[in-house]
Amino acid sequence: MARSPSNRRDISVPSTTEPDPPNASSGLLRSRGWQVAMIGLGTATAQLDTSVNIAFPAITRGFDLTIGDIQWVVISYVLTYASLLLSLGRIGDTIGHAVVYRTGLIWSAVALLLVGYAPSYGAMLLFRCLQGMGAALVLSCGVALVTSLYGEERRGRSLGIYTMMMALGLMVGPLLGGVLTAIWDWPAVFWFRVPIAIAALLLLRGLPVSPPRLTNGGYDVLSSIALILGLVTMLMALNRLREFSAVWLGLLSALALAGFIFRQSRSAHPIIPIEILRLPGFALLNLVSVLANLAAFSVWLLVPYHLARIQGYSLVESGAILAAGAAGAVLASPIGGRLIERQITAERLAIAGAAAIGAGLLMLSGWTEQTPTILRVAGLVVQGIGLGLFQLAYSDIVTATLPLRDRGVAGSLVLLTRTLGTVTAASVILMLFEVLQVGNGFFAAFHQTFLTAALLAFVSAGLLALSPRKAAKP
C-alpha cells in the first residue's frame, strides 16, 4: 500500500485548511501547537483510564465484590465507547468535529463526577457506560481536529504529536492511579480528570468550528443501530470465548454487521464507504492492526504478574517498569511523524513498527527471575517504540485513504481496530497462558506465551510486507 506523492492529499474533496503562506507568523504556529496540546489534554480524560486498573483492589473492597465482578468495570466502559466510535465519527463529519469534541468533554466531566459518587456497584456500572459515551465523543473526533489544524502536508507531524500524547496518558495513568488511590481512595482516579476536561474545554475557545457538511437525511440511523449492535455483541463474544454463549453472540454480531453492510451499500450517505474496504490491501491493513495490538497488549496483561513474583520490586517500582513500554511509544511517535514527512512511506514504517513489537516481545520471552532490571526495561521500550511507530503509521495510512470529508470516521476506525485487538488479547492471551501454565508453571508459560505473541507480531509485519499495494485513492 505504498503511497505516491500524488495521494498525500484527498483528491475527491478539497481541504478545508489552507496551507500557511511562506511568511506565516511564528505566533500562528504557536497557536496551532497550543490547540493540538489542548486537544491532547482533552483526550487524556479517556486515555488516563488506565489509572482505574490500579484502583481495582480498592473498588473491590469498597463495594464488597469478588475479583470476577471487577471485570465489568472495564467491560461496561469499553463496550460503550468502542461500539459508538464509528457512528459518532460520522456525526462529527456531519455537524462538525469541534462541536462533538466539546460535547464529549462536558459529558465526560459530568460522568466522571457521577462514577466517583456512585452509591452502589450497579450505579457505578451505569455511570461507567455514561463515561464511555463521553470518551467516544472525545476520541471519535480527536484525529480529525488535529489534522485539520495543520493541513494534509503536515499530517504526519500532527498525528505523531497526537499519538505521543495518547501514549503519554497510558504511561502516566498507572503511576497517578497508585498515588491517588493511596491518598484519597478509588474515587480519586475518576475525579482528578474532571478539572482536566474543564481546562481543555476552556482553553480550546479559539478552536475553529466547521460548518455542517451534509443536508437533512444525511445520517442513517438504522445503519448506526445495526453497527452498534454488531460491535457490542462481537466484543461480548470475544470476552466470553471460553463460554458457549460466545457462539450465539458471534452469530448475532455477524447478522447485525451483515445488515449494516447491506444498508451501507445502498445508502447515499454511508457511515463508512463500503468501496474503501475493496481497495487492495486496506481490509488486510485493518486486520493487521487488530493482530499487532493483540500481540502488544499481552504486556499489560502478564508483565504485572511477572513483576509481582520478583523479590525486591515495590509496587511503585513495578509500575515504573511497566510504564517503560508506553514511554517508548511517547519517544517514537513524534519521530515517526517527521520520518513520514521526509518521504519515508507510512507503509514501511508500519512494517518496521510491527517487527519492533515482535523484537521487544521476544526479549520479554527470555525474562527469568534473575533478569537485570535494565534488560526488562529495554525489552519494554523496544516493544513500545514499535507500537508507537505502528500506530502512527497505521493512522496516517487510514486518514490518507479515506476522503477528507470522512476524517472523523477515519480516526474512529483507527481506535476501533486498536480496541478490538486489546479485547481479543484479554481473552485469547489469558486463555493461552492458563492452558500453558498447567503442568509447566508460571515462568515457562510466560516464556511460551510471549514467544507466541512475538510470532504474531512478526506475522503481522510479514502480511504488511506482502500485501497488495494501493495505486490511488478512490
Residue with cell 505521543: 164
The span from the CA of 90 to the CA of 219, in Å, is 8
- pLDDT reading at 251 higher than 50: yes
The correct answer on CATH 1.20.1250.20 for the domain covering 29-207 is: yes
Per-residue confidence (pLDDT) for residue 454, from 0 to 100: 95
Residues 323, 171 contacting (CB under 8 angstroms): yes
Per-residue pLDDT averaged across 160-176, rounded? Answer: 80
The span from the CA of 79 to the CA of 73, in Å, is 11
The span from the CA of 71 to the CA of 79, in Å, is 12
Split at pLDDT 50, 70, 90, the class of 412 is confident
- pLDDT reading at 434 higher than 90: no
Split at pLDDT 50, 70, 90, the class of 11 is very low
Per-residue pLDDT averaged across 351-366, rounded? Answer: 95
- pLDDT reading at 9 higher than 60: no
Nearest residue to 251 (alpha-carbon basis) of 235, 234, 263, 267: 234
- pLDDT reading at 291 higher than 80: yes
* Measured torsion, CA atoms of residues 339, 344, 349, 355, in degrees rounded to the nearest 10: -110
Burial state string for 364-391 with b = 16 or more CB within 10 A and e = fewer than 16 = bbebeeeeeeeebbbbbbbbbbbbbbbb
- pLDDT reading at 19 higher than 50: no
Split at pLDDT 50, 70, 90, the class of 23 is very low
The span from the CA of 424 to the CA of 420, in Å, is 6
Residues 171, 330 contacting (CB under 8 angstroms): yes
The span from the CA of 1 to the CA of 450, in Å, is 29
Nearest residue to 104 (alpha-carbon basis) of 94, 89, 117, 83: 89
Asked if the domains at 29-207 and 273-474 fall in one CATH topology, the answer is yes
Tell me the Ramachandran region of residue 243: left when phi exceeds 0, alpha when psi lies from -120 to 50, beta otherwise: beta
- pLDDT reading at 36 higher than 80: no
Domain residue limits, the chain:
29-207, 220-268, 273-474
Split at pLDDT 50, 70, 90, the class of 426 is confident
Split at pLDDT 50, 70, 90, the class of 314 is confident
The span from the CA of 462 to the CA of 351, in Å, is 8
The span from the CA of 135 to the CA of 283, in Å, is 26
Instruction: Please tell me the total number of residues recorded for the chain in this structure.
Output: 474
Per-residue pLDDT averaged across 295-323, rounded? Answer: 81
- pLDDT reading at 271 higher than 90: no
Per-residue confidence (pLDDT) for residue 448, from 0 to 100: 94
Per-residue pLDDT averaged across 158-181, rounded? Answer: 80
pLDDT by residue (tens digit) across 56-107?
778 888 888 776 677 788 888 888 888 888 888 888 888 888 889 999 999 9
pLDDT by residue (tens digit) across 371-408?
999 999 999 999 999 999 998 899 888 888 877 777 77
Fold observed for domain 273-474: Growth Hormone; Chain: A; (1.20.1250)
pTM for this one?
0.78
- pLDDT reading at 292 higher than 80: yes
- pLDDT reading at 227 higher than 70: yes
The span from the CA of 322 to the CA of 290, in Å, is 22
Per-residue confidence (pLDDT) for residue 461, from 0 to 100: 94
- pLDDT reading at 3 higher than 80: no
- pLDDT reading at 458 higher than 90: yes
- pLDDT reading at 196 higher than 70: yes
